Amino acid sequence: MNFARVLTGDIDPVIKNMTKFISSALTLTITFVLMAAGFAMMAPADALAKNTRIKDIVAFEGVRDNQLVGYGLVVGLNGTGDSLNNSPFTRQSMLAMLERLGVNVRGENLNTGNVAAVMVTATLPPFTNQGSNIDVNISSLGDAQSLQGGTLLVTPLMAADGEVYAVAQGSINIAGFSATGEAASVTQNIPTAGRIPGGAIVEREIDFRLDDLQEVRLALRNPDFTTARRIAEAINGYASTTMAKAENPSSVVLRRPQDYTGSITDLITDIEQLPVQPDQIARVVIDERSGVIVMGSEVKISTVAISQANLTVKITETPQVSQPNPFSEQGTTTVVPRTDIEVNTGPDAKLAVVETGVTLQDLVTGLNRLGVPPRDVISILQAIKAAGALHADIETL
């Protein structure tokens, strides 16, 4: 008997079974690993979905816009400019401009309608280099009907310190028009306001050296203690050192570490992409004029019963004329008032109970079931706040 063959014949089935078992175990292991990797990839995505970059919720000290303003003249209007008799500043400006160009028309009877006095405004972005172009906005100052087809003459733009930082000139683009006939007129948008893209050239740079700073303050756009602390913790956790500190709910101080080889600009670039979950107090914003209501997701109310009924008072006047009989010698014609007053208190009024700790969606759903219009929702929210059941600040615009 060949013992080797017998032994091999006995072992082959075992080896095959072990191979199948190892293959199945390996496949199961790979499946679990892939599932775990998938959950690991999904978890950060869900967490980051609620986070916001630091650069989106703060403003860095010194990195700010500057407002510019100037006074100028627009020429080339097709009879839609200022009437010089009603706009003396336009007349004086035109005379002064012509005198600077060597034309003396003082004492002459000027009756042109192709010139308009305008105010020119622009925003100077931070760190704008000399010679760069910025957009300008044009707004009529007099009684001009339209600025369509007009050209703005050279206009210096000044900042709050009285210094000229840019000079504007160019053709005006407007988004509206005005057409008038004998018996009708059509006006679309605002034809007395326009814009010149890239219409101003920067002549002076704002001297601010960010790299020379050893620390910079991060100003929160929506001040909050919790958000300020989370920003500081995110920065310190990223750098593994204490270089950020929340001073108050509005600002976080960022100090450049001694062993940091980069500039303050490099440091800002490193930390502005860090994700932070901002926090805010519960707030309800109400615009009384338009009836707009905006409620934050953290608005909560305690158990409260709400009843809404529309009170309608209708007053109808039907005066009657009382006059004497025909051919009577006495009596006068008199108007006798007749007033009919109807009061409707809303027979379909309902009383609804809103349970404690409801979410914003529950509150909106409950008010919609009552059929409450936005105007009445404002009064209801104010009444709930007065009752102490609304746990949020109400801000009226």
pLDDT digits (tens, 9 = 90+) for 164-182: 999 999 999 988 766 666 6
Per-residue pLDDT for 43 more than 80? no
More confident residue, 186 or 157: 157
At 21, the pLDDT band (50, 70, 90 cuts) reads: very low
214, 154 Cβ separation under 8 angstroms? no
The letter for the amino acid at 31 is: T
Give the strand pairing for 283-287 and 393-396: parallel
| Distance from C-alpha of 70 to C-alpha of 376, rounded to nearest angstrom | 46
- For 333, the token pair is 């014609």
What is the crossing angle of helices 225-239 and 264-271, to 10°?
110
Helices (H), the chain: 3-49, 54-57, 88-100, 225-239, 264-271, 360-369, 374-386
- pLDDT confidence bin for 40, thresholds 50/70/90: very low
| Lowest-pLDDT range of 199-203, 245-249, 346-350 | 346-350
CA angle 342–347–353, rounded 5-degree value: 140
- Token look-up 């109807």 returns 342
| Predicted confidence (pLDDT) at residue 27 exceeds the cutoff of 90 | no
- Which pLDDT score, from 0 to 100, does residue 6 have? 39
What's residue 24's pLDDT? 53
pLDDT: which is higher, 193 or 23: 193
Q: Return the pLDDT at 387.
A: 80
pLDDT at 29 over 70: no
Q: What is the mean pLDDT of residues 256-264?
A: 84
Instruction: Give CA–CA dist 43/46, Å, rounded.
Output: 5
**pLDDT over 70 at 197, yes or no:** yes
- Which one-letter amino acid corresponds to residue 50? K
What does the pLDDT read at residue 133? 96
> 293 has which bridge partners?
286
- DSSP assignment of 10-41 equals HHHHHHHHHHHHHHHHHHHHHHHHHHHHHHHH
What residues does each domain of the chain span?
66-176+186-202, 210-276, 284-323+335-396
State the pTM of this model.
Answer: 0.64
* CA atoms in the 13 A half-sphere facing the CB of 173: 7
CB atoms under 10 Å from CB of 276, counted, come to 20
Whose structure tokens read 């008032």?
337
Phi, psi of 236 (to 5 degrees): -65, -35
The β-bridge partners of 220 are 58
The structure tokens listed for 107 are 């004492």
Residue 356's pLDDT band (boundaries 50, 70, 90)?
A: low
- Cα four-point dihedral sign 280, 282, 287, 288: negative
